[in-house]
Structure 1
């Protein structure tokens, strides 16, 4: 079982949610609406949807969201809110690699929240092929990641820490495996007397490698940006916003 199957619960799940910036999330939602050319009634897949910080406002806009996530806590929260607000959201609490959809069933899809690096190369190619298969011709797919090689390696940190709102402290010990192309991290979350330590594996891709994998799956990258203002991605940019089109 992959590490991310059991990661998002308890203190780590709480820390992730509390570390999100609501105003920045609004900018990301606007970015998704624009770059995915979303309209009222558009059928959209949110991969690793979490508690729906992007899906809920997109559904409120009028898109029909299908949200896939592994965290039962996030899925229950998302189902509750979407039901209370009568929003067009379908929640699937399962691994995206094992979920089945009909081909050509979505107008657009996205994978935000820095979860794109969860998959090793073989699974990543399967994932991208699945996205390509379920998109209509000309359908759009967008990802966000802070774990691109061009972002990580110019200032690689073996150890780092940061405070999180709600009296939580996050610490990480990072070890890069160059032969396999991943970072093995020991992450620790501390809140008062509670302490949780987990091992995480993030797979690191270059933009050129992603370009090859996307094309192999029938997806053409039409934009690679270093920020939400759509400036072209450059070496050292801290994050990547990528948009691809099914060809």
Structure 2
């Protein structure tokens, strides 16, 4: 992919997430922490035995696979065809993966819809964000819950690291971050096999107040707010995560 293609792609996530380099850069994510979060949230929600869960924007399925091991019937969906192809290698009777745009509702409803690890806020328009929330609402059954796990924008902006370098699998990733139009822009440059690459991540720096406004517009009822994966209280200036539980 040329520099200009990556930079000017309107839906940057449909190109970057489909490259092997995305998975290399983020390969060292903390699985133990993620699994602890799944243990805590399913216990807190008192999920029914064999309950159904939709993992929205599931990537390669690390949360889905673990939730399935806990005994739930899980459907993982993502826009990235490459990620879903990898996730499908773990499919079984109670674990399914499919390519899906999160702005569109599913054809069925679930006991829980999880949108995890800051998989919201990619879209450029307010309308698309509201469409996504409404699609989540329509995918939750009468007794079900929705969970959005987002970064705490107030904490992130206060502690933003402007430049860093990471070497993973022999590739040196040069990363720059800045804030522009209430979005956190991450520019990622690296070379591999004699070719230069440049990708941009853009995520809206939504605060709790932003989510409250959007949820009200989408007709969603916010029930609980947590500040970390142990489901402790949310503190605007200290919490690293903003975890929203809603109906």
TM-score range, shorter chain: 0.7 to 0.9
User: Which residue does the alignment assign to 1:40?
Assistant: 49
Q: Does the 8 Å contact 2:24/2:168 carry over to 1?
A: no
Query: Secondary structure of 1:219's partner?
Result: coil
Residue 15 (structure 1) aligns with = 25
Q: What residue is the counterpart of 1:230 in the other structure?
A: 231
Separation in structure 2 between the aligned mates of residue 238 and residue 114 of structure 1, nearest angstrom = 14
Normalised TM-score (structure 1): 0.84
TM-score in terms of structure 2 length: 0.84
- Asked if the contact 1:47/1:112 (under 8 Å) is kept, the reply is yes
Give the RMSD, CA atoms, in angstroms: 2.3
Partners of 1:19 and 1:5 in 2: how far apart?
Answer: 22
Q: Is 1:156 matched with 2:160? A: yes
Unaligned runs of 5+ residues in structure 2 are 1-9
Q: Give distance in 1, aligned partners of 2:167 and 2:142.
A: 42
Query: 1:90: which partner in 2?
Result: 96
Q: Which runs of 5+ in 1 are unaligned?
A: none
Is 1:74 paired with 2:83? yes
Equivalent residue, structure 2, for 1:131? 136
Query: Closer, same or farther in 2 for the Cα pair 1:70/1:31, shift >3 Å?
Result: same
The alpha carbon displacement at 1:240 in A equals 2.0
Q: Does 1:111 align with 2:115?
A: yes
Correspondence 1:202-241 to 2 at 5 A:
202-237=203-238, 239-241=240-242
Question: SS of the counterpart of 1:4?
Answer: helix
Query: Partner of 2:131: helix, strand, or coil?
Result: helix
Q: Secondary structure at the match of 2:24?
A: helix
**SS of 1:185 mapped into structure 2:** strand
